[in-house]
Amino acid sequence: MPGPRRGPASERAQDFSGTIRRLIAYIAHERLALLVSLGCAIASVVFNVVGPRVLGMATTKLFEGFTAKLAGAGSIDFEGIAYILAGLMCLYVTSAFFNLLQGFLMTGLTQRVCYRMRREIVEKIDRMPLGYFETNSVGDVLSRITNDVDTVGQSLNQCVTQVVTSLTQLIGVTVMMVSVSLQLAGITFLTIPVSLVLVVIVVRSSQRYFRQQQALLGLVDGIVEESFSGQSVIQVFNREERAVADFDIENDRLYHAGWKSQFLSGLMQPIMNFVANLAYVAVVSVGAFLAVAGQITVGDIQAFMQYVRNFTQPITQLTQVSNMIQMLSAAAERVFEFLNGPEEEPVAEPRELARCRGAVSFEHVRFGYVPEKTIIHDFTCEVEPGQTVAIVGPTGAGKTTLMKLLMRFYDVNAGSITVDGVDIRALDRDALRANFGMVLQDTWLFEGTIRENIRYGRAEATDAEVEAAARAALADHFIRTLPGGYDFCLNEDASNVSQGQKQLLTIARAFIADRPILILDEATSNVDTRTEERIQRAMDALMQGRTSFVIAHRLSTIRNADKILVLRDGDIVESGRHEELLSQGGFYAELYNSQFAEEPEE
C-alpha cells in the first residue's frame, strides 16, 4: 500500500513575490536572448499597431474618391490606394517576421531553463541526505521534475512575451487612439476601471486553486507510482478496491481544484469580451455623430474601431497572463523548494583517505532518527583489519542503522566512528564510500544489459573481469543460459530474472568493485538453501583479507565469523565467536536454537 506522503501545500503561494524574483534571477544568464526576444516582440507590436491607421487612410481615400465620383467632381485614386495597401502589407510582413523571431528565441530560452532545472534537480538528489528519501514520496519528487518543470517552461514562454507585447500594444494603441480622437479615446478609457475590478476579483479567487492543483498533482502522481510498483502486493492481499478508493480521494480533490481554477480563469475571456463590446458600441455611436459633424473622417472611425478591439485585447491577455503567472509561481515555488532542501554538509577540510586497511572502531555511539527517540544507546566495538564481524539480533535492534552510520548516510548524535583511526566525519563522503562494497537484501538493478549492471561496481572493468566476477559469484552459468548471455537486457525493475538471480548479480557487482570493507545485509536471504550454501562459499572467498560486516537472520551463515555482536534494543548484550556464545546459553543461543527447533506435533 502507498507509504507516507506529503500533505497538500498551502492554498496560496507561500512567497509569490520572492519566487518571481528568484525566477528572474534564475534566467538572468539568458539575458541576451531574452533582451533580443523582447526587442523583437516590441518591434512586432509597433509595426502591427501602425497598421489600422494606415488602413484607415486607405478607407478615407476610397470614401472620398467614391463621394467625389458620385458628385461628378473626380474619380477614385486606385493607384494611391494600392500604394497605401502595399505599405500596409510591408508593415504586417515585418511584424510577422519579428514575431516569428521572438518565438524562436523565447522557445529556446525556456527549454534551456527547463533543461537547467531538471539537471539541477538530479544533481540535488545526489547531495540530499538519505533521510529525505525515507520520508518523502517518490511520486512527489517525480512530479516536480516533470509536471512542475514543464509548467514553468510553458508558462514562462507565454508570460514573458505576452506581458511585454500586451503592455507595448496597450501603450501604442493608447497613443494612436489619442492622436485620432481624444473624445473617443476618453470613452474607451472608461472601460479600464471596470476591467481592473473584475480582474482583481477573478485572480484572487483563482490564485489559491492553482497552487492547490500543483500540490495535489504531486500527490496523485505519488499514489500512481506507488500503486504501480506495489501492484503484486496489492493483488495478493486483494486490496485493489482500497487502492482505487485511496486514489479516488486525492483524484477527487484534484478534480475540484482543477475545475475551479480553470473555470475561474476561463471567466476572463467572456468578461473582457463583454466590456469590449460595450466600448465598441459606444465608440461606433459617438463616432458617427463626430463624423457627421466633420470632426473625424470615416477612415478614422474604421481605424478607431480596430483600435478599440486592439485596446481591450491586451487587457484580456494580461488577465490571462495573471492566471499563468499564478501557475508559474506555484510550479516554480515547488521546484525551488526542492532545490532549497537539506543537503549533506560537506567537510570543510577533509582528511585524505586512500585505500584503507579496514580497521573500524565504534566508540560510545549514540543515535536516533528523531532526537527524542534513541535507537543506538551506547555502542562500542573494535574491528581489526580483515576481520569478519556478524551483527545479529531481533528486528528493530539497530543492525542496519549501524551500517548507515558507518557509511555516513547519517551522522552519530554522540560518540564517534573511525576508519583506520580517522573519524569518518572528517572524511569526504565520496572518499569514505569508495572503500565500501555493499550487498543488500533489497536488490537494485537498472534497465540495461547484465554486463552493464555488473560493471556498475567498477566502470573501467574489462569484459573478462566482468565474467570473472560473475563466475566468482556463481552467476556465470545462469547468465549464459539467457538469450544474449551477458548482453541480455534487464527491464526497468529487472522482473525478467528471478529474485535469486538478481541477488547473484548484485554479489557479482560487489566482487568486481574490490573494496577493502564489505557490508552484507541479508545478502543470501532471497535464495534457496542449496544456492545459499554455494554463495556462502563464494562469500568466504570474497571476504578473505577484507573487513566484513555481515547482518544475518539465518545464523547458520555466520558460524565462521571472527566476532559476533548480539544486539538488543540498540545495545550489545553478547559478543564472541559462534561456539562461545552457544556455550553461554544466553540470548544468542536462544535465537540460534529457535531457528532449528522442531515444531511440536499436533
pLDDT of residue 141: 81
Same domain as 316, residue 240: yes
pLDDT of residue 193: 79
Q: Is residue 517 in a domain?
A: no
Q: Would you place residue 598 in the very low, low, confident or very high pLDDT band (cuts 50, 70, 90)?
A: very low
Report the chain's mean pLDDT, rounded to a whole number: 81
Query: How confident is the model over 448-490, as pLDDT tens digits?
Result: 899 999 998 888 889 999 998 888 888 888 899 999 999 999 8
Phi, psi for 367 (deg, rounded to 5): -160, 145
Same domain as 403, residue 313: no
Q: Measure the CA–CA gap between 408 and 427, rounded to whole angstroms.
A: 10
Same domain as 331, residue 420: no
Same domain as 165, residue 74: yes
- Domain end position, chosen among 279, 309, 339: 339
Q: Is residue 6 in a domain?
A: no
The C-alpha cell 530474472 sits at 497
Structural domains of the chain, count: 2
In the β-sheet with 414-419, what is the strand arrangement from edge to edge?
Answer: 376-383, 360-367, 414-419, 422-423
Does residue 71 contact residue 91 with C-beta atoms inside 8 Å? no
In the 3-class helix/strand/coil scheme, how is 147-158 assigned residue by residue?
A: HHHHHHHHHHHH
- Where do the H-state alpha helices sit in 12-148? 16-26, 31-71, 78-127, 130-135, 138-143
Q: Does 8 score more than 50 pLDDT?
A: no
Same domain as 371, residue 319: no
Q: Would you place residue 596 in the very low, low, confident or very high pLDDT band (cuts 50, 70, 90)?
A: low
527: three-class secondary structure by DSSP = coil
Q: Would you place residue 24 in the very low, low, confident or very high pLDDT band (cuts 50, 70, 90)?
A: confident
Q: Is residue 346 in a domain?
A: no
Same domain as 92, residue 189: yes
Cell output for 219: 500527490
Query: How confident is the model over 553-586, as pLDDT tens digits?
Result: 777 678 788 888 888 887 888 888 888 888 888 8
Same domain as 394, residue 262: no
549: three-class secondary structure by DSSP = strand
Q: Is residue 393 in a domain?
A: yes
- Domain end position, chosen among 276, 308, 339: 339
Cβ atoms < 10 Å from Cβ of 466: 24
Q: Is residue 447 in a domain?
A: no
pLDDT of residue 327: 80
Same domain as 248, residue 184: yes
Does residue 109 contact residue 27 with C-beta atoms inside 8 Å? yes
Q: Is residue 582 in a domain?
A: yes
Same domain as 140, residue 95: yes
Same domain as 199, residue 313: yes
Query: How confident is the model over 48-89, as pLDDT tens digits?
Result: 888 888 887 887 777 777 777 676 666 777 888 888 889 889
Same domain as 243, residue 160: yes
CATH number of the domain bearing residue 283: 1.20.1560.10
HSE-up of residue 558 (Cα within 13 Å, Cβ side): 34
Terminal Cα-to-Cα distance of the chain (whole angstroms): 36
- Domain end position, chosen among 282, 312, 339: 339
Same domain as 405, residue 313: no
Q: Does 12 score more than 60 pLDDT?
A: no
Instruction: Say how far residue 366 (Cα) sits from the centre of its chain.
Output: 35
CATH number of the domain bearing residue 393: 3.40.50.300
Q: Is residue 303 in a domain?
A: yes
Q: Is residue 495 in a domain?
A: no
Q: Does 252 score more than 80 pLDDT?
A: yes
Q: Would you place residue 28 in the very low, low, confident or very high pLDDT band (cuts 50, 70, 90)?
A: confident
Q: Left, alpha or beta for 465 (phi > 0: left; psi -120 to 50: alpha)?
A: alpha
Cell output for 44: 512586432
Query: How confident is the model over 344-384, as pLDDT tens digits?
Result: 887 777 787 777 888 899 999 999 888 778 888 888 889 88
Can you give the residue range of the structural domain that contains 38? 16-339
